[in-house]
Chain A
Amino acid sequence: MSDTREVLMKVEDLKTYFPVRKGVFKRTVGHVKALDGVDLEIYRGETLGIVGESGCGKTTLGKSVLRLHNPNGGKVFYAFPDGMRNILELKGGELDEARKRLQIVFQDPYSSLNPSFTIFGSFDDPLRKFGVKSKKERQRIVEKLLSDVNLPGDYMMRYPNEFSGGQRQRIGIARALSVNPELIVCDEAVSALDVSIQAQVLKLLRQLQSERNLTYLFITHDLSVVEYVADRIAVMYLGKVVELADTEELFMRTLHPYTQALLSAIPIADISKKRKRIPLQGDVPSPVNPPSGCTFHPRCAFATEKCRELSPQLETFTFEGREHHVRCHYAMDFASRPQGSHQSIQ
């Protein structure tokens, strides 16, 4: 399987820091290391789930590859028709080429549409920018897009306050589709929705993916949702990817202690499944001053002297032909012990 997969985006050592300013003269006293060296590959047509707790940098990752944030270092290669090029170095017209291929769906359906504009007004400028000159044509396109997300076309003349959260989220998806993108970053796209609406949007996203061969970078804090949508999952902690594997592989053979704790902490809506919790002590440390060595060591039950001093690298293992990347000194010890989260669930 891995041979036939085409790499659509390759993120190399991506770093995004936000300055922390203090005092009268607003001097920079430190940096929030929101992304501290992220390496990823996204394959065409897949859904890569990014999970982690708040402050782990997952949203920053999504916005950095779209250049909504300006990364401080690293490279983001994207497979343009004429070959791989670094998005972070593109300018002007070339950047617009990239923006046609990369789009985003936001978390909050209530702030993602301009309240002063009709739905058509929200689509108008992007379509005009990407070369649809006549207004008739633009209206026709918006009508088609709305029907693609199962909304009546005449909704385009209405204002956002007439729509419910789920409808707004579908309009947000239609807006992202308006330029026929290849990759869509879904930034907590269903987190703000009510549970009964979540399923509608998740199904719609799946359907659009198969119809249009879309690639999703699906960012969420909800592991139940990501298990449902993602082909592969990357777990982030303090600006780094700590574990990355196929969804099934990750749930069957959870290697990083953080992922294990995260999985065990999730309340499961199934009363027949009682399992043992792996309690995590303390809070996520400040990304301004991350701990030495492995950044997870202060909360890790298995931490040793080595973890305190030496930062582990993202290592690649192969189990039954499937790649599994882990950033832990003792990953192989966990792998030899059968203790994936599924065992503890059942």
Chain B
Amino acid sequence: MSSKSLQRKMDRLLTLENQGKLRTSTMNRSVRKLSANVLALVGLALFLLILMSSLAAPLISSYEPNAIDLKHRLSPPGEGHLLGTDQIGRDIFTRILYGGRISMFVGLGSAIGAALIGVSLGTYAGYTRGVLDSAVMKLSEIMMSFPQIILVSILVTIAGQSLWNLILIFILTGWPSMYRMTRSQMLSIREQEYIQALQAFGIGSVTISFKHMLPNAIGPIFVNITLSTAMFILQEAALSFLGLGVPLEQATWGNILNVAQDLNILRNAWWVWLPVGVVITLFVMSVNFIGDGLRDAADPTQVG
């Protein structure tokens, strides 16, 4: 903030104070900060819009996402098809709506799955340290040093191409960062004196770490889940574009993009790949805005 706007803010508060209008807000500070964050609110609105329309897809569009209409192949936007059709005549708008369901499911599902593994390992190992911690730490280092695309190609070759396999692969590659984040949180929380007080009562490690420590780390974990969701959606799109993701017959945002590999479509049928690209960008951006907003709201060092 510039010093001028700061001065104005202070003037405004001073006037209110002199009129005796200022009261200590009963609203939670994080909620207040989040609601004052315009970008986060825009992100939230956008996120809800895309989410809702995907969920309500059958109400919005009368087409089937996989209904082939060979008479109207690659027809441009307009008459009957809001965003035109693809090379085998499927309605693109409908496919984007339905594809959103799968893409979001992959993103959120993978993020939550990775969090379940990473957070529970990180919570316990971060508190107890010792052999378990160093073993898991080494394992996570190994996982993180693989180029992901190669790892995915190998796993897809072995396990075959399916929605569930993709989620499984994302979870496998995604938990190490969750683990390290949770672990570093635990390392600072375990030095707090209330933890030592519980130790002095001889309370067990599982109770201390999961019941007493984890709630204090939940903020950063939540932010991390949000941001990973966005990351996994992007990864799904990238992998599907390469043909390594969800099987092509299922509509996902990445699979819609997949046809843009055809140079002819890329040059002459922009409506096939541009709208879906914009939707992916907007969605990922909105999730990132929400994540950043949450992080700022949870950060007590920020003024305001």
Contacts and interface: CB of A to CB of B under 8 A. Distances in A.
A and B touch in the complex (CB under 8 A): yes
Given A106-B193, A107-B193, A111-B192, A125 B198 contact: yes
A10 interface: no
Contact of B212 (A102, A114, A176): A114
Nearest to A124: B211
Given A108-B193, A111-B194, A112-B194, A99 B215 contact: no
B193 A112 contact: yes
A117 B214 CA distance: 12
Nearest to A109: B193
B80 interface: no
B202 interface: yes
Contacts of B212: 114, 116-117, 125
Contacts of B199: 68
Contacts of B198: 125-126
Given A122-B194, A125-B207, A125-B211, A114 B200 contact: no
A114 B194 contact: yes
B197 interface: yes
Interface string B164-199: 000000000000000000000000000011101111
A129 B194 contact: no
B194 A104 contact: no
Interface in A64-116: 66, 68, 95-96, 99, 102-104, 106-108, 111-116
A126 B195 CA distance: 12
Interface in B68-96: none
B35 interface: no
A212 to B, nearest CB: 18
B185 to A, nearest CB: 13
Interface in A160-201: 172, 175-176, 179
B15 interface: no
A91 B152 CA distance: 48
B81 to A, nearest CB: 53
B201 A113 contact: no
A243 B6 CA distance: 58
A148 B162 CA distance: 64
A99 B197 CA distance: 11
B200 A115 contact: no
B26 to A, nearest CB: 13
B202 A99 contact: yes
A129 B196 contact: no
B216 interface: yes
Nearest to B214: A116
- Chain A CB count within 10 A is highest, among B194, B203, B211, B212, for B194
B215 A106 contact: no
Nearest to A105: B197
A163 to B, nearest CB: 14
Interface string B120-154: 00000000000000000000000000000000000
A129 B193 contact: no
Given A115-B216, A116-B215, A117-B212, A126 B193 contact: no
Interface of B: 192-194, 196-203, 207, 211-212, 215-216
Given A68-B196, A117-B215, 12 more contacts: A96-B202, A107-B193, A112-B193, A114-B194, A114-B212, A116-B215, A116-B216, A125-B203, A125-B207, A126-B201, A129-B202, A130-B201
22 contacts: A68-B196, A68-B199, A96-B202, A99-B200, A99-B201, A103-B200, A104-B196, A106-B193, A111-B194, A112-B192, A112-B193, A114-B192, A117-B212, A122-B194, A125-B198, A125-B207, A129-B201, A129-B202, A129-B203, A130-B201, A175-B197, A176-B197
**Leading 3 A-B pairs by shortest Cβ distance:** A116-B215, A106-B193, A112-B193
